[in-house]
Amino acid sequence: MHIAKLNLKERSYNIIVGSNILNLLGKHIIKLNIGCDAYIITNASVKNKYGSVLRKTLKQANLNVRFKLVPDSEESKSIAMASSVIEDMVQYDRKRRIFIIAFGGGVVGDLTGFIASIYKRGVPYVQVPTTLLGQVDSSIGGKTAVDLIQGKNLVGSFYQPRLVFSDVGLLRTLSIRQLQSGLAEVIKYGIIKDPGLFNYLEKRNRDILALKPSALEYIVSRCGYIKAKIVQQDEREKRGIRTILNFGHTIGHAIEAAANYKRYNHGEAIALGMLIACDISRDSNLINREISERVENLIRTVGLPTRIQKVSLPDIINAHYRDKKFIGSKNRFVLIKGIGKTKIIENIPLKIIRESLKTRISCAA
Ligand SMILES: NC(=O)c1ccc[n+]([C@@H]2O[C@H](COP(=O)([O-])OP(=O)(O)OC[C@H]3O[C@@H](n4cnc5c(N)ncnc54)[C@H](O)[C@@H]3O)[C@@H](O)[C@H]2O)c1
Ligand SMILES: [Zn+2]
């Protein structure tokens, strides 16, 4: 078992990573002294697979347990869903010792964090992420959000969990596509901060795709450690430090949106966005071709896309202008100077972005 600490004074918390450790969660929660009525937000698919283990460990710790199911889709990240869950939760919260558990992927995690932050101006919550993306990224750092019709994650808060508890054993039932999507974020951490992790991914990607527990534990704990270090220096993304986590996301988000969130999932779009960021870094003489090829080879080897298909250049450019990361009239890119070294550049000329997108688009729709 690996434990990393995210240090934020009185809001500090542990990130625990292990294999087949869900049955130990109750013991860890008891130590936090955050309440005795556990309200678990999840979806039917995750509950069917792992709900009984979760119920048992919480009961053994003398906690009361109530599951609340939300639909299994991004549409659950809405204000309407948040208020409907809260209305249900009020019925359960009679003794005022409630805390919430997010038991699922990033959708459940973001919705739960948001609810925990606004219900009674904040109640404790625990993240128990069940997807690779959730374990390496969305459960850590306290960004909570729901979507509006006008855009994703437009309403939210910074609200830290009291514990992040990642059991990599839960990843055995993930689809390969979901696993690959999470791997895109893992590759991102290697590129922005950790050449050792990047080398490991180059050498051991087969073990990861084969779900070898030691390999999964290594990458999940390493990413948790890196994200914790970044977040504790710049919790609210005010100092330009947390910004590096957006590597690949400026264009990645635009690709996701231009494809109407259908053709590409988050990790696939981010893989393409990272390649564009590498292409621009190379064309700006920040890195040589050998580095951009290493990134492209790794992305291809784990089965993520390297070419943009059936999404048009104008649609990507338009979506890029609508992105939250657009500051005033300036865009902001995280580029790299090498594996593990980033450089933030504002106002990259549209011509350069357009050129690198053109070379990555296979067949314009
Ligand atoms: N808060 C943040 O910092 C942050 C960071 C990155 C992404 N996000 C958000 O995360 C969301 C995406 O998260 P995601 O990729 O985890 O998607 P998701 O939550 O939709 O989960 C993907 C699918 O996997 C299923 N699933 C979950 N656990 C499973 C398991 N153990 N076995 C089998 N199936 C399982 C889910 O039911 C779902 O169908 C987006 O809404 C994104 O905005 C938030
Ligand atoms: Zn991401």
Q: For 310-340, write each residue's pLDDT tens digit.
A: 999 999 998 888 775 555 667 889 999 999 9
Catalytic hit among 188, 193, 222, 266: 266
d(CA 333, CA 322): 15
Q: How far is the CA of 350 from the centre of ligand 2 (A)?
A: 23
Catalytic hit among 14, 43, 205, 246: 246
| Residue showing tokens 């070419």 | 307
Q: How far is the CA of 249 from the centre of ligand 2 (A)?
A: 7
206 is catalytic: no
Of 235, 208, 209, the closest CA to residue 222 belongs to: 208
Q: What is the pLDDT of residue 240?
A: 85
Q: What is the pLDDT of residue 205?
A: 97
d(CA 300, CA 208): 15
- The token duo for 217 is 């534990």
Which atom number of ligand 1 is nearest to the Cα of residue 132? 16
- Weakly modelled stretches of the chain, pLDDT under 50: 364-365
Share of the chain above pLDDT 70, in %: 97
143 is catalytic: yes
Q: What is the pLDDT of residue 365?
A: 44
118: phi then psi, degrees, rounded to nearest 5: -105, -25
285: left (phi over 0), alpha (psi -120 to 50) or beta: left
- Residues 221-231 as b/e (b if ≥16 CB within 10 A, e otherwise) read bbbbbbbbebb
Q: Which amino acid is at 333?
A: F
Q: Which amino acid is at 252?
A: G
Identify the nearest ligand to the CA of 265 by its number: 1
Q: What is the pLDDT of residue 331?
A: 80
d(CA 39, CA 28): 16
Which atom number of ligand 1 is nearest to the Cα of residue 265? 15
Of 70, 254, 217, the closest CA to residue 136 belongs to: 217
325 is catalytic: no
Residues 172 and 19 sit within 8 Å (Cβ to Cβ): no
Residues 89 and 97 sit within 8 Å (Cβ to Cβ): no
Q: Which amino acid is at 285?
A: N
2 is catalytic: no
Pocket of ligand 1 (CB under 6 A): 43, 45-46, 49, 72, 74, 77, 104-108, 110, 130-131, 133-134, 137-138, 141, 143, 152-153, 170-171, 173-174, 178, 181, 266
**DSSP string across 78-111:** BHHHHHHHHHHHHHH-SSS-EEEEEEESHHHHHH
Give the number of other Cβ atoms within 10 Å of residue 347's Cβ: 12
∠ CA 346-276-253, rounded to 5°: 75
